[in-house]
Structure 1
Amino acid sequence: MLPYWMSRTNLLLQEEAINALQSKKVLLLGLGGVGGICAEMLVRAGVGNITIVDNDKVDASNINRQLIALHSTLQQPKAELWHKRLLDINPNLQVEYLQLFADKQWIRTYIQPEKFDYVIDCIDTLTPKVFLLQHCVENKIKIVSSMGAGGKINPLLVQACDISETYECNLAKYVRKKLRKVNIRKGIKVVFSPEVTMPGSILVTENAKPKKSIIGTISYMPAIFGCTIASVVITDLLGLKIHN
């Protein structure tokens, strides 16, 4: 018997599909503007087992776009805040939160074939992002990756495709370049926007380590990326074809 809070989803997808989602195990790395809303949409849709990974604390600059970023949550760990929020959505959720930086050794050790039904990459640091993608491709682990939501304002251009089909996205360009060095050119699902980056929206700085720049964002764009990624995962897990 499904709980009443799932009744609208049940009307749309039917109980068999929701039961299938409840049995799935998803790993999500990165709880920023994209990853946080993605985690929430997965749980509200009925995914029953999720592991969330992030090492950051809430900063005041996050308030313009991240659901858990409030003046009352400043300097609190994002992973812990999301753990509490997701359980408040579904008290029966199987959820593990890991407050750590996903380096190469951790990725290699922790993410094993058949451990998760889907891996979601919302990491915004290039080196671990690329290694995660390489690791999942080489081990035949299903993964979808977020490209850059910063510097863009048109929600109608956000789309899901193979990484080989991306363009006008600086993050995707750098990811493709590094993946080519390990002979990976396609076979990775991504969400990206081909919108030309807004002029003046990138600030190069040495104070944003491990990143080399700060990119301007608008409230809704990371959320749209996160919702689109959630739709890729949910429909893929259910065998529905709505994306390329």
Structure 2
Amino acid sequence: MLARSGVAKLRLVDFDYVTLSSLNRHATATLGDVGTPKVRCVQRALRQVCKWLDVEACVDIWRKEEGGRYLEGVDWVVDAIDNIATKVDLLHYCHAHDIKVFSSMGAGAKSDPTRVQISDISYTIYDPLARSVRRRLRVLGVASGIPVVYSTEVPGDVRLLPLPEAEFARGNVKELNVFDDFRVRILPVIGPLPSIFGLHIATYILCELAGRPIANPLPIKNRRKLYERLWRDLLTRESRLAGEQLNRLPIDEDDVSLIFEDVHLGRSVVPPHAVPTKAVLVRWDPREEVSVENVVVMEGREAERHVRECWDLGRRPGEVW
């Protein structure tokens, strides 16, 4: 869609080859292309559609040691890497060098197209790949500023496809890797989902290039309001317990996001860890100060009981819950 919409130059970087298992989602590959580099298939198809397009196909992998080898002079980078370490390295490099980058999270084991959304990496929820990427980027000092497409669909009981016994009999399965540390076995992917992810990315970038950016995607608005509410509720509760009006807390809205999304996964700390109808934050141990480690997610009624039992009656949280 980028080429069809007027983008004049594309550089495709991928080490992978077309396989039988990828034909269900590879729009430009045919049965005769099995064993062919994916970027060559895309290059051939795009040249048939857009004669003027300058498309460079690189059968290679981006490595952080080589830095900007494939990134010099680009307007946008689209990250669709599966390997988490390489994905994080690329996103961190682009962020550090002010290169615009859009990242795609995982479409594997997902089936509901209505759950696909665009947001900043800091506002992603329910996506295991996004969670891992977000945590690693935070360690590297990148908390936000990277747009992503992801699905809020909660992964079900989907397992890796078993390899036939014949494959094990032929030798070490790990030798099937194209590169070390890259997975061989795959999660099932329903054909349309990667395309839907790609259309989200293309639309976002085209709007940016046209000077009409999607400035504030809806999920970002909703999550920001949630974090603001959780922070204000916690401030009100702490003020009431302190007997005076407090103006600030030792944690901010970014910390609230970390507590709610990453630590508690949007669920109550109280077993069976249900998703709260109205989530609130509350200090877990009243003897300790408010901190990321000492603030938990609860349902409103659970928080009321927690305050009554642990603050008013002096019981330990472990005795109550």
Could you say which TM-score interval applies, normalised by the shorter chain? 0.7 to 0.9
Measure how far apart 1:211 and its partner are. 2.2
Report if aligned partners of 1:151, 1:202 keep a CA contact under 8 Å in 2.
no
Give the SS at the match of 1:141.
Answer: coil
1:161-197 CA-to-partner distances (Å, cap 9, x unmatched) read 1000001111101111211111111110000011011
Could you tell me how far 1:107 is from its partner in structure 2? 3.5
Distance 2:182 2:162 in 1: 12
TM norm structure 1: 0.77
Q: CA deviation at 1:204?
A: 8.5
Name 2:93's counterpart in structure 1: 135
Instruction: Identify the residue that residue 233 of structure 1 maps to in structure 2.
Output: 205
Task: Report the CA distance shift for 1:61/1:81 in structure 2 as closer, same or farther (over 3 A).
Answer: same
Who wins on radius of gyration, i.e. which is larger?
2
Question: Where do residues 42-61 of structure 1 align in structure 2 (5 Å cutoff)?
Answer: 42-61=2-21
State the Cα deviation string for residues 99-119 of structure 1 (Å, max 9, x = none): 10111123344324xx11111
Q: CA deviation at 1:236?
A: 1.0
Residue 201 to residue 70, structure 1, CA distance change in 2 (3 Å): farther
For 1:67, give the aligned amino acid: A
The RMSD of aligned alpha carbons is: 1.9
Cα-to-partner distance string for 1:63-102 (whole Å, 9 max, x where unaligned): 1111133211110111111111111110111111111011
Of all paired residues, the percent bearing the same amino acid is 36
2: distance between equivalents of 1:86 and 1:167?
35
Matched, 1:100 2:72: no
What aligned pairs does 1:71-86 form with structure 2 within 5 A after superposition?
71-86=31-46
1:87 aligns with 2:59: no
Q: Is 1:215 paired with 2:175?
A: no
The SS at the match of 1:50 is: strand
Distance across 1 between alignment mates of 2:15 and 2:118: 27
Partner of 1:151: 109
CA distance in 1 between counterparts of 2:5 and 2:78 reads 16
**Secondary structure of 1:239's aligned partner:** coil
Q: Report the CA distance between 1:52 and its aligned residue.
A: 0.8
Please say if residues 151 and 216 of structure 1, whose CA atoms lie closer than 8 Å, have aligned partners that are also in contact: yes
Higher relative contact order structure (alpha carbons within 8 Å, sequence separation ≥ 6): 1
Matched residues, number: 202
CA distance in 1, matches of 2:45, 2:105: 25
Structural mapping, 1:159-238, within 5 Å: 159-203=117-161, 207=174, 210-211=182-183, 214-238=186-210
Alignment correspondent of 2:169: none
Q: Which runs of 5+ in 1 are unaligned?
A: 1-40
The Cα offsets for residues 16-39 of structure 1, whole Å up to 9 and x where unpaired, read as xxxxxxxxxxxxxxxxxxxxxxxx
Q: Distance in 2 between matches of 1:50 and 1:203?
A: 34
User: Which amino acid in 2 is paired with 1:142?
Assistant: K
Alpha-carbon distance between aligned partners in 2 of 1:204 and 1:161, rounded to the nearest angstrom? 34
- Give the AA of the match of 1:214: I
Are the equivalent residues in 2 in contact too, given 1:204–1:214 (CA < 8 A)?
Answer: no
- Unpaired runs of 5+ residues, structure 2, are 164-172, 218-321
Amino acid in the other structure paired with 1:134: H
Determine helix, strand or coil for the equivalent of 1:42: coil
Confirm or deny: 8 A CA contact 2:120 2:148 kept in the other structure: yes
Q: What is the TM-score with the length of structure 2 in the denominator?
A: 0.59
Moved more, 160-169 or 234-243: 234-243
Deviation track 1:97-147 (CA, whole Å, cap 9, x = no partner) reads: 1110111123344324xx111111111111111111001101111110000
In structure 2, distance between residues paired with 1:45 and 1:142: 19
Tell me the distance in 1 between the aligned counterparts of 2:62 and 2:203.
24
